[in-house]
Structure 1
């Protein structure tokens, strides 16, 4: 079984930074910080506002690199095989499509706007996340 370590202060700092980035994007560009929507806008055919999308995604990649460069370790483990990882990605992609958005768009931005659709989507995400963790850890034994 995989052990996890809860880091409340680092987690809080990360959440605050995500919130600030979301607020700034909405205030400066009038756009929701949903990672899937941002990513979709840089895949051909390109949207006309692709420069900010590239900058946002570059920040999401560069931030962990800077964290590591500052001497901080990022512990992670992938407890499943590559085919199961790909299947999980496919299932998430289908969910994003039918849910009309991802966890960042609905969970961070939509909930902050008190959107009923986003609240329902986020509750659904959380229920199925809990069920998945329970089944994988206590039924399957991963």
Structure 2
């Protein structure tokens, strides 16, 4: 059973955040001709192609600066991760492997690809979401986690 804490339900801030993500992806596409897929942007930092490092580094630093800026004025909610470090490392590696096989991540396919009506992005997003739903179901209900 799912319970919603209506006192903490913030649809307006979620809507504003989603609109800002959409606006940022449109600006990146219009000004740089690039898709805002985080795995591709961060992965490109390691390729060191000429003229590619500056914008990728700026984008990545902006992602990291957002929560830091918010924390300067507000209290961040506590982070609770109910997994040990080896499991987190394996999970991270599996996500990285999946983004390589799918030629992108949820931000690239789910946000940018779906908005461009890309059939490949639709399939990738359905697979991402299906894998997530299945993982939660198996770990919470079948394995008793």
Scaled by the length of structure 1, the TM-score of the pair is: 0.90
Alignment of 1:1-142 (within 5 A): 7-43=10-46, 45-47=47-49, 48-142=51-145
Pair 69,41 (structure 1): closer, same or farther in 2 beyond 3 Å: same
Within 1, Cα distance between the matches of 2:59 and 2:127?
A: 27
Pair 108,61 (structure 1): closer, same or farther in 2 beyond 3 Å: same
Structure 2 unaligned residues grouped into runs of 5+: none
Return the offset for 1:7: 3.8
Question: Could you list the runs of 4 or more consecutive aligned residues of structure 1 that deviate by over 6 angstroms after TM superposition?
Answer: none
Within 1, Cα distance between the matches of 2:48 and 2:142?
A: 44
Checking the alignment, whether the CA contact within 8 Å between 1:68 and 1:74 is kept in structure 2 is no
Within 2, Cα distance between the matches of 1:128 and 1:54?
A: 30
Within 2, Cα distance between the matches of 1:7 and 1:130?
A: 23
Aligned-partner SS, 2:87? helix
Q: How many residues align?
A: 139
Query: Relative contact order (alpha carbons < 8 A, sep ≥ 6): 1 or 2 greater?
Result: 1
Structure 1 unaligned residues grouped into runs of 5+: none
Aligned-partner SS, 1:10? helix
> RMSD over aligned Cα, in angstroms?
1.7
